[in-house]
Amino acid sequence: MKRIVQGGAATAVAVSALAVAHVLRRMGSRVLWPARADEYRDEDFGLLHRDRSAVVHATDGVPLAIREHGPADAAVTVVFVHGFCNDMTSYHFQRRDLPALWGDRARLVFYDQRGHGESGVPTAANCTVAQLGADLAAVLEARAPRGPVVVIGHSLGGMAVLAAAAAHRQLFRQRVAGIALICTTAAGMTAGGIGQLLPNPALDGFRLAVRLAPALVQAGRTTARHVITPLLHVSSFHGQVSPTLSRFTTMMIDRTPVSTIVKFLQAIEVHDESAALPALAGVPAVVIGGGHDRVIPFKNSELLAGEIPEAELVRLDGGAHMPHLQFPDAVNAALDRLFARAVPAAGERTASGG
């Protein structure tokens, strides 16, 4: 009987992966790999892991792994919140390049979201977008208890930023001097893109498989790599991609436990952070989206920017869901413009007692 259950679990995984792959191929996103030249062949993707480390405990006790760069007394603290199935190293190029632009004016804080990277494993009940917002608030309280902050969120990380804004309005009103939202949405994940697949019988089978035989499903990621890898390429990048960058991204996603993926699927499906948008009035913002993003289509970025009065909308025509990795110069330029707007805003908040 046990073997029958395990066999059914493996079948559910295969069916789920194949169903998603088929839909993605029909959506027409295309990655040209290998690229003509590998500009990142000698890139040091371990840069972030040599920064100062710390641990912050969330409200439910889950330890969150932190890395920091820059002076503790910097004028502004910039906090980076990564996306689903990523970790803090997804911001490699921001960590590499932004210190040269901002110098000692900024301290950069990166952390792994719960269940991702080096952070702790949460219970399923605490894998919600609201809890991710509480985690961000805990990081701010512990690592940036005073002074202005700029918050940058990608995908699920952007949802966490919006959840924090909804639940901690005074904090955002008094101390958040700028906000960047990359390839994210306030609501409607199941209305377009890959999000349409979330309320899907195949994924329901995948969730059941993880509950019944998690070790088998985790091992199945290796044997089914020929099915899963195209999904990772299609959703992350579009057009010419460095093979080294592609491998770096694939390995980062592969490190995410299957249990984490399943625990957050429903949270992403039902999330609605629209209540946060009024809390962002008057806050300098930039909303960045990819023209070929099949996970969260660019129309979501347009809708989001339309609800934030101070938002600059940036469309990266060649970008997919990971533009901060594929087009770091364009993303960093947008973040630099945000920082230039945020620094005066930070002064105004400090002068007003924020």
The per-residue pLDDT for 3 is 47
Predicted confidence (pLDDT) at residue 25 exceeds the cutoff of 70: no
The model's pLDDT over 306-319, given as tens digits with 9 standing for 90+, comes to 999 999 999 999 99
- Written as one string, the DSSP assignment of 99-157 is HHHHGGGEEEEEEPPTTSTTSPPPPGGG-SHHHHHHHHHHHHHHH--SS-EEEEEETHH
How far is 273 from 21, CA to CA, in rounded Å?
29
pLDDT of residue 31: 57
Average pLDDT over residues 138-148: 96
* Helical segments of 198-326, H only: 201-212, 214-223, 225-236, 243-254, 258-270, 298-306, 323-326
pLDDT of residue 276: 87
Question: How does strand 52-57 pair with strand 63-69?
Answer: antiparallel
What pLDDT, on a 0 to 100 scale, did the predictor assign at position 17?
Answer: 46
**Structure tokens, 147:** 């002074």
In the predicted model, what is the mean pLDDT of the chain? Answer: 82
Asked if residue 224 has pLDDT above 70, the reply is no
Identify the pLDDT of residue 37.
75
Place of tokens 């494993």: 121
Residue 72 has pLDDT above 70, yes or no: yes
| pLDDT at res. 194 | 46
pLDDT in tens, 287-339: 999 999 988 999 999 999 999 999 999 999 999 999 999 999 999 999 999 99
Q: Mean pLDDT throughout 236-247?
A: 91
Higher pLDDT, 267 or 125: 125
